[in-house]
Amino acid sequence: MSLFVSNTAGSTKRTVVNASFFVSYCVGNIIGPFAFISNEAPTYRSGIIAIMVSYCVEIAVLITFGLYLAAQNKLKERKIIENGLQNVSEEEKALAGFRDLTDLENPWFRYSY
């Protein structure tokens, strides 16, 4: 849950990401119980299969997301070197975080994974 929030900068963008995550979470909690069919009791085979598929998809998405974030960090490093910004002071880098720039606009924002 914290991956999406910690990898988003800018107050409006962070609010939209939080709201999207919350809505998705709620929809999943509404839809999930329908995978458990009452005439399959007590084993609920289709429900167990749905859970296992969901976990496998979640693992694949998280791995893909981590690889994407690592690639984005490398791309940001290349852009800093290309634009000659590698000699910027730590104070200026820190101040960029308070300018309400998004993660895409702030060249010193690094994604965590």
> pLDDT tens digits, residue range 56-88?
999 999 999 999 999 999 999 999 999 888 888
**Tokens 């690592």 identify what position?**
70
Quote the CA–CA distance of 10 and 35 in Å, as a whole number.
Answer: 38
Residue type, 102: T
Q: What is the pLDDT of residue 46?
A: 95
For residue 109, give the nearest of 67, 76, 82, 79 by alpha carbon: 76
Q: What are the φ and ψ backbone dihedral angles of 44, each rounded to 5 degrees? A: 50, 55
Using pLDDT thresholds of 50, 70 and 90, give the confidence band for residue 37. very high
Using pLDDT thresholds of 50, 70 and 90, give the confidence band for residue 99. confident
Quote the CA–CA distance of 67 and 49 in Å, as a whole number.
Answer: 27
Whole-prediction pTM value?
0.80
